[in-house]
Structures are given as C-alpha cells and as structure tokens.
Amino acid sequence: MSSASARTPRSQLATMADLLAIPEEERHHEVLDGEVVPKEVAGARHGLGQTSAGSWVARRFSRQPNGPSRPGGWWVLSDVEIELAPHQIVGPDLAGWRRSRMAEVPDVYPLTLRPDWVCEIVNGADARRRDGVQKRRIYADAGVPYYWLVDMQRQVLTVLRWTHAGYVEVQQAERHQRIRVEPFEAVELPVGVLFGEDDE
C-alpha cells in the first residue's frame, strides 16, 4: 500500500512567472527552493547595515581603477533580482560583479549572470537561519565565489569563500577590528563602518 506522502501530488515549483504575477508595488519577494517567499521587512538597523556596507564597498571598488585607495573594477548593486536557477531567484541586499565579467550593467530583469560577491545583512534569528543556512546553500550551489554575512545584532562580519565542497569560512571579524577581507583585500576595512561608524 502506498504511503500518504506518495499519494500527495508534488506542488509546482515557483518560477519568475510567479514573481511577475505579483503586482509590482507589492513585489518584495524571492523564489527560494521553488517557493515564493516575502523578503524580510527592512527595519532601521537593517537599512543602516545595507547602506553602510554598500557605501564602503562602492566608494572604493564600484568604479574604474583610480589609485591604491580606490582600486575599482566592480559593479556593486543593491536590492537587485538575480535568477540563479529557474527556481532560485534571489534579491541579496548587496551584490557585486567584476567588470572583467560584466562590462556594463545590463538593462534586463532579472539579472541572470552569477555575481562574484553577495552580502546579506542579518538582523534577527529568522534572518540568521534564512541567510546563514538556506541562502548560503543556494549561493553555494550557484558557485557565487564570495558571501558576506553582516550580523547587526552580534556585530560580526563573516566571510565565506566558495570551494567545490561548498563554502568555507575564511574570516570572522568583530566591530573593533581592522582587516583586509576577500574579495576587497586591496583596501583595509575598519569593520565598524559596516555597523554605522564613521568612514575614514
């Protein structure tokens, strides 16, 4: 006799079409593992982390090279939808592409070129599970080379590097530290700026 689970039809996995069916003004969702999931409501602390991290990276790297303090060579975007696979459509807080791989930002929706770096701002236990477990696996499956987790409550930056076996943690730093961190190691990062301290 077949089990109840075997008799239950598998639900259809969501795709980009399901996202587009949501009215544009309400489309604050991702498709994770084939399920349409609302994005976390971004409170003030989340917004601070996103703005602070994005500003530090963009000021130094999201431009053409311009000397040792501004090495350039990247496009850095916030809140952009990226289709990593038909049933994995993510909207990371920040994402970066090396200009050597993406010569210009395409006028398409969603982007389909895998980013070279993603950063998620983590604020709370639910986000820690989603970003630290589910999205970590999704980004690893897509081969995203670098994944940053900026934990606003713990005030810790975790840096992951992709390998064929999945992500390995290469660095963890607290607010008071100054570090050189992949893939932006050309410029020293005062970690506190990710949490709202003044940039130097």
Q: Report pLDDT digits (tens) over 156-182.
A: 999 999 999 999 999 999 999 999 999
Percent of the chain whose predicted confidence (pLDDT) is above 70: 94
**pLDDT band (50, 70, 90) for residue 67:** confident
Class of domain 43-195: alpha beta
Q: How far apart are the C-alpha atoms of 133 and 131, rounded to whole Å?
A: 6
The separation between CA 39 and the C-alpha centre of its own chain, rounded to angstroms, equals 13
Q: Say whether pLDDT at 192 is over 90.
A: yes
What is the DSSP pairing of strand 117-122 with strand 146-151? parallel
Q: Say whether pLDDT at 63 is over 80.
A: no
Q: Say whether pLDDT at 2 is over 70.
A: no
CB 162 within 8 A of CB 140: yes
Q: How far apart are the C-alpha atoms of 38 and 33, rounded to whole Å?
A: 13
Q: Is 114 helix (H, G, I), strand (E, B) or coil?
A: coil
Go through 149-164 and write b for each residue having 16 or more CB atoms within 10 A of its CB, e for each that does not.
bbbbeebbbbbbebee
| Mean pLDDT for the chain overall | 91
Nearest by Cα to 131 from 104, 93, 101: 93
pLDDT given for residue 92 in this prediction: 96
The pTM (predicted TM-score) of the whole model is 0.90
Give helix then strand counts, H and E, for the chain: 5, 12
CA end-to-end distance (rounded Å), the chain: 69
Domain residue limits, the chain: 43-195
